[in-house]
Structure 1
């Protein structure tokens, strides 16, 4: 018998970690905080380092030929707990940006910090004032804040975007654990334990050591929009978990032969499988040599398909289970809240229309788009 590969071992550890996250999710939702023991397990499992190249002690999950494995990881995490999956997806995205645009010294530094227990993130959202780069004497520093920053209060290595004039730059910061954050505005119905808040970065010095890449790199395609498949993979995991819980509910109560319930479960399975086909293909294309426009268009269409599938599954599960699906601490109730919240990604109408326009302007048959 062949020994399991490093990736096979990672997937097994991911499945175990996701099961632990699922068990902890109800308490995390009630407390609006993920227990530190789960983050300790995240590091022990090897997941924290897995995205880095092998030369830095990782397994290369961000590399082009590993996107299908990364898709599986994110899907398993989404089935465990969407809040945890959201934070880990941000951690992986930060590593990808540093490894794509950063210097060798920045990559090695981030890898060392993560190996020592740090969590990374990407904080791009800001208020109307924005985050600016200002000159103070002989150095540059930041002025302003970031909003909707997931992991505020325990993420210590975030990538933030900031502007100087019309140019946007990325900076990899070191945030002290006791840096003030404001979580009071995070009153969303779901994703409660993501610690999403505002953080004022005014006065933080930035320079060549912190700057990642060049002006405009953060918005570069296909990486910005084409990478949307990653959060779709987390959504997919939650959808599959809901369908499994629905089946368990029907079987446990002897309602599996009800024709209307059979209709609902069939619709759920079809929707989940449809989303999986799209998400896995979007991941494959993201790692391919296809042109940027095609990758982005398919990812945008995947967003639309995933959202529609998730909404259909939630409706069928809630109708099939009834009032129990709305009562805490039933996991169906929490997962539906989290999924409905996490589905609200930026500019969905623009993503849909851009995808449709890309196909209209192409000469490809629909089956080959």
Structure 2
């Protein structure tokens, strides 16, 4: 069984159209999500033994997951963020959960479940407290993608002694959600919100892994490559639109515009190369130090950010005011990409990676003939 990449690529126009139509009202792309579900996108990350393709959960699947996330990002980065979180949740359960938990998640996904990965605390940090028969949650999560649409979520919650644990929670339709996406400049279709989980009862069997597993390296840093793949799709789409819109307007032959086109192509290829390298290292295909993996992926994350910001500047300068007109798809894509690239602690990430490689070389792939 193989993934239908050509069918997914053919969906780009419909995903993009839905994204633009729903942007003003921050409408979640429900039709696009259903289309991806039908193509097997949500089940693709499951291990093969559980009816998936192992994309993102088995070493061989890293390249396929990169291509899948890249294609979704080309169509709708907000939807790409939702899919990336879903895949991330599945991977963490596969890494740290019990066989029974993996089997449960797989069954949920085959039953059309959408998983969220919610780790950013709201105004009241999420805690779990012992109660008769199990655990009760207090607090909530902020910047929760697909806050109303996710059927399940992997969340982080503090327990006694402030140890952080991962929990699997099933979400009912009565959840309390405060809209957050409508206030964002970009990625408005990701269904971002603040979800209050106070009063939710969970069983001890819902706890995944051990205290501190979510922050365990190299996985904590290495997982950033999946977000890089979604951003890569957006970068490639903006680069393509720059070329096509300049050509349509008869301006592509101008030397200054050709220079912009060339720089945009270089930036997109740079993002691709770093993402491929990060994906390979994170998948464990190369036998390297855990610190090398985390630091390399962190450098890649910043390289993709820089490539994206450069393409945004080139598009805006190349297309001029037309890039700021709302009925031009470029205007939304610029906002979506700029918002998506705002990952936490970029300066700290760069300094940590630089410190790691100050006295050791960046690991190189084996290119011997």
Given the two structures, how large is their TM-score scaled by the length of structure 1?
0.94
Aligned length: 362
Correspondence for 2:66 among 66, 71, 86: 71
| Residue 24 of structure 2: aligned partner | 30
In structure 2, which of residues 300, 303, 323 is the aligned counterpart of residue 302 of structure 1?
300
1:203 aligns with 2:202: no
Tell me, in whole angstroms, the C-alpha distance in 2 between the residues paired with 1:367 and 1:214: 33
Contact 1:17 1:45 in 2 (8 A): no
Aligned residue number for residue 58 of structure 1: 52
* Secondary structure, counterpart of 2:128 in structure 1: strand
Query: For the Cα contact (< 8 Å) 1:169–1:218, is it kept in 2?
Result: yes
Pick aligned residue for 1:191 from 174, 187, 191: 187
SS of residue paired to 1:173: strand
Q: Contact conserved, 1:247 with 1:265, CA < 8 A, in 2?
A: yes
Pair 1:145 & 2:140 matched: yes
CA distance 1:284–1:196, change in 2 (3 Å): same
1:365–1:78 CA distance, 2 compared to 1 (3 A): closer
Per the TM alignment, residue 367 of structure 1 is displaced from its structure 2 partner at its CA by 6.5
CA gap 1:186/1:214 in 2 versus in 1, 3 angstroms:
farther
User: 1:177 is paired with a residue of what secondary structure?
Assistant: coil
TM-score by length of 2: 0.94
Does the aligned pair in 1 maintain the 2:296–2:362 contact within 8 Å?
A: no
| Unpaired segments ≥5 residues, structure 2 | none
The superposition leaves residues 187-226 of structure 1 with CA deviations (integer Å, 9 ceiling, x where unpaired) of 0100001111111111112233211111111111111111
Separation in 1, partners of 2:107, 2:173: 17
2:263 matched to 1:267?
yes
Pairing partner for 1:173 from 147, 169, 176: 169
* Equivalent in the alignment of 1:12: 6
Select which of 334, 342, 345 maps to 1:344. Answer: 342
Separation in 1, partners of 2:296, 2:29: 37
Q: Do the aligned partners of residues 83 and 349 (structure 1) sit closer, same or farther apart at CA in structure 2, a change above 3 Å counting?
A: same
User: In structure 2, what is the Cα distance between the partners aligned to 1:355 and 1:327?
Assistant: 39
Which residue of 1 is the match for residue 312 of structure 2? Answer: 314
Q: From the superposition, tell whether residues 118 and 368 of structure 1 become closer, same or farther in structure 2 (CA, over 3 Å).
A: closer
The structural deviation recorded for 1:57 is: 0.9
Asked if the contact 2:175–2:197 (Cα under 8 Å) also holds between the matched residues in 1, the reply is no
Alignment correspondent of 1:3: none
CA distance in 2, matches of 1:199, 1:156: 13
Output the CA distance in 1 between the equivalents of 2:365 and 2:77. 32
Residue 44 of structure 1 and its aligned partner are, at CA, apart by 1.0
TM superposition outliers: structure 1 runs of 4+ over 6 Å: 365-369
Partner of 1:97: 92
More displaced stretch, 198-207 vs 126-135: 126-135
1:244 to 240, 250, 254: 240
Cα deviations by residue, 1:54-97 (Å, 9 ceiling, x for unpaired): 11110110211211111111111111111000000000001111
| Residues 138 and 176 (structure 1), Cα distance of their counterparts in 2 relative to 1, 3 Å cut | closer
Give 1:157's aligned residue.
152
Matched, 1:222 2:210: no
Q: Retained in 1: the 8 A contact 2:181–2:187?
A: no
- After superposition, the C-alpha distances for 1:164-185 in whole angstroms (9 at most, x for unaligned) are 1221100010000231211057
Query: In 1, are the aligned partners of 2:167 and 2:207 still within 8 Å (CA)?
Result: yes
